[in-house]
Structure 1
Amino acid sequence: MVHGSGVVDHFPTPPASSPPGTPAGCRGRHAPSQMFGWHLGDGGDPAELVTAYLAANGLPVRDLGRAAQGAHPDATGTPCGAALYVSAAAGAAMAGGPAGTPSPVPGIPDVVAVVYTHGPAASPPPPGPGFAVGEWAPGWSRAQHAAAVSGVREAIACGDVYQVNLVGQASAPYTGDPGPALARVAALPGARYGGVLAGDGWAIACASPETLVEVRDGRVITRPIKGTRPATEAGRQELRNSAKERAEHVMIVDLERNDLSRLPGVGPVRVDELFAVRRWCGLWQAESVISAPVTGRLDLAQLLRAVCPGGSVTGAPKLAALAQIAQWEPVGRGVSMGALGWVGTDHVDLGLSIRTVAVDGARVHVWAGGGITWGSDPVAEVDEAAAKAAPIRAALSAG
């Protein structure tokens, strides 16, 4: 276990899946060398602390524009990159907002970085005892969720906020080895950031399709997703034609354009694609692409402070939305709605940790939610969150 802002050299049995965001050519060749961990309450600036740690381990995180011009190493024993995880609470701290309700998985640090080197191809660990999930316990009832939606709508009517993303949690006891179940989650269709990150006594599995931030080939990019319908032809047309979903989506696009424009060393921000409808498992979702050229010096700490927590899972204005989240969500967001991905020698690629599962020594935890606007229907919002969680629960139970 990691205690405080420190480094450990003990790792559990490697998971069958690679960490989220791993370059395709490196999968199966990773050997973890050191792990950094930071918990809320440890003190210091987590963005700067993790950036300094990665820089000390040879990763070019102080000048990401120059790093994009480098070559990816291919020698055994050389640093390949690092898996990076930032919790929603840590992101809120970076933004200067309230951290919200405490995490239901307090044993998982709020910031984790694991540096990997290249080594021989790893053999998958032998399967342990069969995995079984017990009865799910929701963090709030459907009525409580709907009441929170109504409460946010009242705040919007008062002019306190324009949009708020509300997230619910559920957990269940489990028996057996969770590794194969987590690998199934990571392999869900459309999981751009599919993978597993494990520490001593915990693991995170991600099936996120959403890019929080990417720096590659001299550009910084974000791809917000907002707007969901069932993956039927009727659902596709309904999403395309929904004035409510489009207004909600454009509001988040404007927020994330502003996030990128606040970065030093970045040129004009543009919207490359607006409200494109793409599929994730059994759902249609609307995605936009926003980017800007890296024109000067940009370091990882500045990047994290600008984009964390992601606008599509907070709302607008971001700090006002964080206050509403802290007021209404009865269970902390834990590993969800944060950042999870890869910091390489030639790029950064962090996904938003939606569609993400955590396991500790006793329980498995899932989260799901959606954006609330004045036009939101409370019952429909509760149903949408259940639809987003359904593929994750099904993957966990498939074995």
Structure 2
Amino acid sequence: MRKIGPYGVETLPQVGAAYSGPAALVNVPAAPPACRGTLTERARLQWRRGDGGDPAAIAENFLAAHGLPLNDLTRPAAAHRDTGVCGAALYLSAAAGAQLAGAPTPAPEPTPALPDLAVVVYEHGTRTQAAPPGPPRTWWLGPWTESWTPRQHAAAVESVRTAIGRGDVYQTSIVGHAAARYTGDPLPALTRLGALPGARYGGVLTGDGWAIGCASPETLVEVTDGQLITRPIKGTRPATAAGRAELLTSAKERAEHIMIVDLERNDLARIARTGSVRVDDLFTVRRWCDLWQAESTVRADAADGLGLADLLRATCPGGSVTGAPKLAALTQISALEPVGRGASMGALGWVAPGRVDLGLTIRTAAADGERLHTWAGGGITWDSDACAEVAEAAAKTTPIRATLAGR
């Protein structure tokens, strides 16, 4: 797995996992460059909502117990050592984020094998060459089965517009799901996602009987030496000259984007020093695969004593995949979406003392023992056109499905 830009996370299967691969050798792109190829798994936590408790607090306490105190993110990162604990991969599902926000229970998950929280702590080992791979297993990916039809998707869009007309919400993000049977090893297919153009958070996370592959371009939250950053993405067009011009001049897309930027400003303000929240690079057009997308950067100075648990509570689930107001949008999402969001629309990244870097798991796929799963959607506003929203979701998932198939 190669690193795309300054972001990324990868963990290989633990011993006894359902998917093959070296258990001791781990190349984590977000780790310090000198550490790559030397990290080994030291400890692992997996939590599901049925286990009870607060996942944010559980994650922070587990990390502290394994030599990674993240109870004060304003402290400067200590000089990195090449011995002992290095850092940890962290994954939090959208459903766990909704629980943190106090939202209603979402629809049943299509991937119950996946945990809602996974934390994998790594320590430095000895640099060793990986064993050469064995003969490749035949890979076959069957047809995709959608969890709702285009007509049902369009009806959900109209339901959101009706709610906006009543004043219940200003914007709600609606997400669809699809699954396909496979035979062979899913890890090479999921790993290919990380090489897609614009995949800031390209990587793979695996466990016993499950795996997540991410090609996300979006920063949910980044913390370095007390500086908070989020980079919401909202607004999509084909990556052509005409598409770029259309995105830049679309009043609908800009209004949708500004709503989410304001929401992210409010989220950061809950955990920031008073008056420190600011917006950089408002509505900057960037490319992901064959799509243009609009991105902004919101920054703030962390409040004194800010820890990982409060950071997760304030930022999860991400505003760009929920809507505004967030709790009202989450309530509508739980009523409209036929299945849960699984590995998508959550958080995945790397954490260490003085540094947190979590991507939003859009453009993400997951594997259980029998099927691959994908999710895609978009933000719905009063000016949304139902047919256009259905087409946009399809455009977002097409590169993911093609890559998984090996095309």
Q: Distance in 2 between matches of 1:166 and 1:389?
A: 14
The corresponding residue for 1:123 is 130
TM norm structure 1:
0.93
- Residue 116 to residue 17, structure 1, CA distance change in 2 (3 Å): closer
The corresponding residue for 1:251 is 259
Say which SS state the counterpart of residue 169 (structure 2) adopts. coil
Cα displacement string for residues 365-386 of structure 1 (whole angstroms, at most 9, x for unaligned residues): 0000000000000000000000
- Residue 252 to residue 362, structure 1, CA distance change in 2 (3 Å): same
Aligned residues: 389
Q: Distance in 1 between matches of 2:111 and 2:26?
A: 21
Are residues 1:363 and 2:371 paired? yes
Structure-to-structure mapping, 1:292-303, within 5 angstroms: 292-303=300-311
- Residue 315 to residue 20, structure 1, CA distance change in 2 (3 Å): farther
Contact 2:271 2:303 in 1 (8 A): no
Contact 1:192 1:209 in 2 (8 A): yes
TM norm structure 2:
0.92
The corresponding residue for 1:46 is 55
Q: 1:61 aligns with which of 70, 76, 83?
A: 70
The corresponding residue for 2:116 is 110
- Residue 289 to residue 193, structure 1, CA distance change in 2 (3 Å): same
The corresponding residue for 1:29 is 38
**Structure 1 segments of 4+ aligned residues over 4 angstroms from their partners:** 8-11, 14-25, 264-267
Contact 1:267 1:293 in 2 (8 A): no
Structure-to-structure mapping, 1:151-170, within 5 angstroms: 151-170=159-178
Contact 2:273 2:300 in 1 (8 A): no
Q: What CA RMSD, in Å, does the superposition of the two structures yield over aligned residues?
A: 1.9
Contact 2:272 2:301 in 1 (8 A): no
Letter in 1 for 2:284: A
Cα displacement string for residues 171-191 of structure 1 (whole angstroms, at most 9, x for unaligned residues): 000001112111111211111
Are residues 1:335 and 2:340 paired? no
Q: Distance in 1 between matches of 2:138 and 2:346?
A: 30
Following superposition, the deviation at residue 33 of structure 1 comes to 1.4
Contact 1:20 1:197 in 2 (8 A): no
Structure-to-structure mapping, 1:369-384, within 5 angstroms: 369-384=377-392
- Residue 215 to residue 266, structure 1, CA distance change in 2 (3 Å): farther
Q: Distance in 2 between matches of 1:198 and 1:97?
A: 27
Say which SS state the counterpart of residue 174 (structure 1) adopts. strand
Cα displacement string for residues 151-192 of structure 1 (whole angstroms, at most 9, x for unaligned residues): 110000010100000000000000011121111112111111
Following superposition, the deviation at residue 23 of structure 1 comes to 4.5
Following superposition, the deviation at residue 28 of structure 1 comes to 2.7
Contact 2:14 2:207 in 1 (8 A): no
Letter in 2 for 1:65: T
- Residue 93 to residue 387, structure 1, CA distance change in 2 (3 Å): same
- Residue 19 to residue 135, structure 1, CA distance change in 2 (3 Å): farther
Q: 1:85 aligns with which of 91, 111, 116?
A: 91
Q: Distance in 1 between matches of 2:26 and 2:386?
A: 37
Say which SS state the counterpart of residue 116 (structure 1) adopts. strand
Cα displacement string for residues 211-259 of structure 1 (whole angstroms, at most 9, x for unaligned residues): 0000013301100000000000100000000000000000000000000
Structure-to-structure mapping, 1:258-273, within 5 angstroms: 258-263=266-271, 268-273=276-281
Structure 2 gaps of 5+ residues are: 1-12
The corresponding residue for 1:346 is 354
Q: Distance in 2 between matches of 1:20 and 1:148?
A: 38
> Could you tell me the percent identity over the aligned residues?
62
Contact 1:11 1:199 in 2 (8 A): no
Contact 2:60 2:69 in 1 (8 A): no
Say which SS state the counterpart of residue 334 (structure 2) adopts. helix
- Residue 122 to residue 160, structure 1, CA distance change in 2 (3 Å): farther
Structure 1 gaps of 5+ residues are: 1-7
Say which SS state the counterpart of residue 191 (structure 1) adopts. coil
Q: Distance in 1 between matches of 2:166 and 2:59?
A: 39
Letter in 1 for 2:52: G
Following superposition, the deviation at residue 22 of structure 1 comes to 4.2
